[in-house]
A and B are shown apart, each in its own frame.
Chain A
Amino acid sequence: MRCPRCNNDSSHSEIQCSTCNFELRQLHDLFGRKTVQLERVTDSAHCLRLRDGRDIEALLEEFERTFPQVFVSLYIGVLPTGLKSAEVAFWFLNTAALGTSDYRRLNEYAIVLVLDPVTKSFAVSVGYGLEQALPQKSLEKIMQSLRTQFWHGEHARAIKGCISQLGKRIRQGAKGVKKEEDIIPPQSAEDFLDDSGLGLVRSQPRRNMRDVEAPSGPEAQPSEGSTE
C-alpha cells in the first residue's frame, strides 16, 4: 500500500505512515468528524458539460447494476492548498455517506474518484473489499493510461475510460451470476401506487381515484405534502 500523502510504500498493518505519520485522525482534525453526503457525481468545479455529466451518471448507474455490491462516486472540485487528491479520496471513503439508494452497499466496496483541476491531479481510492479485485498495481496502470487524456483536457473521456477499465478489472476477480429478470407485476392497486414512485399532491383526488379503481380497498392516508 502507499501512503495517500507521501505516496511511500507502507506495510499492511501500519496505523500510521512510517514516513510522514499520516493517519485518518489528521484529516478529521482538518475537516471535522461530521459525516458528509457525497452524490454519484459532484462537479463543484464545473469542469463537466451537462451532457458529459449525464453520460457519466448513466455509466455509473449501469456500473452499479452490473456490480450490485460496488458503487462509485466522482468528486470534481478545487481542493484546499496542501491537500492531495488521494488524501481527500481516502477521507471520503472513510467518512462520507455515499449517494446511493441502496443502503446495503458498504463503503468497503466503494470507489471514489477525485479530480482537482487546479493542481491537475486525479486520484482513485478503493475500500477494503475491492483490494483483491483492484490491487495497487492495477490501479497505477489505469492511472498511467489516463494521463494523456487528462493532459489534453478530455476529462469526461478520461473518467469514462477509467470507469470502464475498473469494471473490466473487477469482472476478472468477481464471480458472474445470471441476472434475475423476472418482473413480478403488482398484486393490487395499492402495490402499484406504492411502487410507481408517483407522489400525490392532494388527498381528495387520491381518495376518488381509489374509490373508482378499488372500491373495496382501505382508505388512503393523507400524504405528508398534502394541503388539507
Chain B
Amino acid sequence: MNSRINYCRLLGLTAVVGLTPFQPLRVCAASDVEELPLPAWVAEGDTRLAPPLGGALLPEMLPDPAEENANNPFKLFIPRSKLAAPEKPAPVKLEPISSELLSLSENTEPDIFLLDPQRLLSETQTEDLQRLLAYHATGARITAYILLLNKDQTLPANFEVSRLASGALLQKTSCLLVYPLGQPTRARFFMSKEIGQTAPIGQLTALAQDCIRGALQVSDDVEQLQRFATQLSIRLFWLERACKLGDTEQVAPARPSLETNTTAELLPEVTSEPVKNGVWPDYLQKWKRSLIQVLCGLAVFIALLIAGLTAWRWKKKQISRTVWLLPEIPDHPLRFGGPHAGGCGASVDFG
C-alpha cells in the first residue's frame, strides 16, 4: 500500500518538474504580453538605488543587519545589548605595587615559591600552587618563583627582584614570573644569568608563548594562573635539558639578555620541543656517563680476553712443539728387590 502511494507521489513530482521548464514560455506568449502592465519609473529616483560608493550597488542590496538578526531564529534568544558590537575596554591605568607589599615578599622563606603578598588567592588555591612549584623544585635545576600582582598593578621601575624570597633567586638558578592575575599576556619573566647566557632567545620566546597559550584556553583567572604555572614547569624542564644546565663541559656563547618581556618579544615561530644538542637522545642523557664507562670496561675486557686467548694458543703451540727430557737415573739402592722400580706409587680404593 505504501509503495503504491509513493509511486503516485513520484508520478506527481515528475509532472511538476516536467512542467516547470515550459512555464516561462507560457508566460511569454503574445496574448499574455498585452495583458501585463509595464513598471512605472519615478523621475526623482529611488534613494535606495543611488550608487553610494563609486557606483557600486552591492552594499545597498545587502540585507539590513537588524532584519537579518530578526530572521535568524538563533539570535532571537540573545539580548540586543549582546548583539551590539563589542565596545573596546577602557585602557586600564597601571599602578606600581606598593613597596610595603613587596617588602613582605622580600622576607619570605626561600622554599616559599608563590609570593602573594596581597592574598589574591584563597588558601586552597595557594596551597595547590605552592605544592606544584615545590614539586617542580625537587626535580628541576631551575627553580620557579611566582610573584602575584593584581590586574592593574605592575612592578616599580627601580625594584630589585633579587631581593625577593630572602635573596634565593641569586643563590640558585631560578626563574621569577611576575604574573598579574587575569592578564597572562602581561606576565614577565626574570631568568638567572646562567640561563640568560646559555638559552637561545627562540627557546625563551617559545616558553613564554606556550605558557600564555595554555593560560588563554580558560577564562577563569585562577585557572589561568594554574595552567600558566603548569606550562612553565614543563617548559623549564625542557629548557634545562636543551641548555644542559649544570654540565660544565658545554660553554655557550654569552648573550647579554636577561629579561624577557612577553608582550614585547613574542615571535611568530612556535617550537614544540626543545632543540636537541649532540647525538645522544634525551632518554640516554641521564645514563650517558655510566654507558660510556660500561662500554669502556667491556672493550677492555674483550681486549684482555683476546690477549689471553692468543697467549694461551701460543703457549699450547709451544708445548706441542716441545719434548721433555728427564735427567739420567741416579744411583739408587734396590728396594723390595725390584731392578726397575722400587715401589714408588699410590693406590686408591673407590668401593
Contacts and interface: CB of A to CB of B under 8 A. Distances in A.
B333 A13 contact: yes
Interface string A46-85: 0000000000000000000111111000000000000011
A177 B326 contact: no
A47 to B, nearest CB: 13
Contacts of A41: none
A93 B337 CA distance: 12
Contact of A12 (B321, B324, B335, B338): B335
Interface stretch (B161-169, B174-182, B185-193, B343-351): B343-351
A17 B329 contact: no
Nearest to A144: B348
Tell me which of B345, B350, B351 has the highest count of chain A C-beta atoms within 10 A of its own C-beta.
B345
Nearest to B340: A107
B332 interface: yes
B342 interface: yes
Given A86-B347, A143-B346, A127 B324 contact: no
Contacts of B325: 68-69, 174-175, 177
Nearest to B338: A94
B316 to A, nearest CB: 12
B334 interface: yes
B326 A133 contact: yes
B22 interface: no
B340 A94 contact: yes
A199 B322 CA distance: 33
Interface string B301-333: 000000000000000000101111111011011
Interface in A163-192: 170-171, 173-179, 181
Given A129-B326, A174-B325, A178-B321, A124 B338 contact: no
A68 B137 CA distance: 81
Nearest to B348: A143
B336 A15 contact: yes
Contacts of B341: 90, 93-94, 107-108, 110, 125-128
B347 A121 contact: yes
A146 interface: yes
Nearest to A96: B340
B39 interface: no
Interface residues of B, number: 30
B339 interface: yes
Nearest to B327: A132
A91 B16 CA distance: 136
Nearest to A25: B337
Interface stretch (A134-142, A207-215, A219-227): A134-142
Contacts of B333: 12-13
A176 B323 CA distance: 6
A129 B347 CA distance: 19
Given A94-B340, A120-B351, A125-B341, A66 B346 contact: no
Contacts of A19: none
A108 to B, nearest CB: 5
B340 A108 contact: yes
Given A120-B350, A178-B322, A125 B344 contact: yes
Contacts of B332: 12, 128, 131
Contacts of B349: 119-121
A14 B344 contact: no
Contacts of A140: 346
Contacts of A25: 337
B321 A127 contact: no
Interface string A104-126: 00111110000000011111111
A173 B326 contact: yes
A2 interface: yes
A123 B345 CA distance: 7
B345 A122 contact: no
Given A14-B335, A15-B337, A128-B342, A147 B326 contact: no
A90 B343 CA distance: 6
B348 A147 contact: yes
A124 B346 CA distance: 6
Interface of A: 1-4, 7, 10, 12-17, 22-25, 65-70, 84-86, 89-90, 93-94, 106-110, 119-136, 139-140, 142-144, 146-147, 150-151, 170-171, 173-179, 181
Given A3-B343, A121-B349, A144-B348, 16 more contacts: A1-B343, A14-B336, A24-B336, A67-B323, A68-B323, A68-B325, A94-B341, A106-B340, A121-B351, A124-B346, A129-B329, A130-B344, A150-B348, A171-B324, A174-B324, A177-B322
11 contacts: A1-B335, A24-B337, A86-B346, A90-B336, A90-B341, A127-B341, A140-B346, A143-B347, A150-B348, A171-B324, A178-B321
Interface of B: 319, 321-327, 329-330, 332-351
Query: Which 9 A/B pairs are nearest by Cβ-Cβ distance?
Result: A125-B345, A120-B351, A123-B347, A107-B340, A93-B341, A24-B337, A174-B324, A150-B350, A139-B346
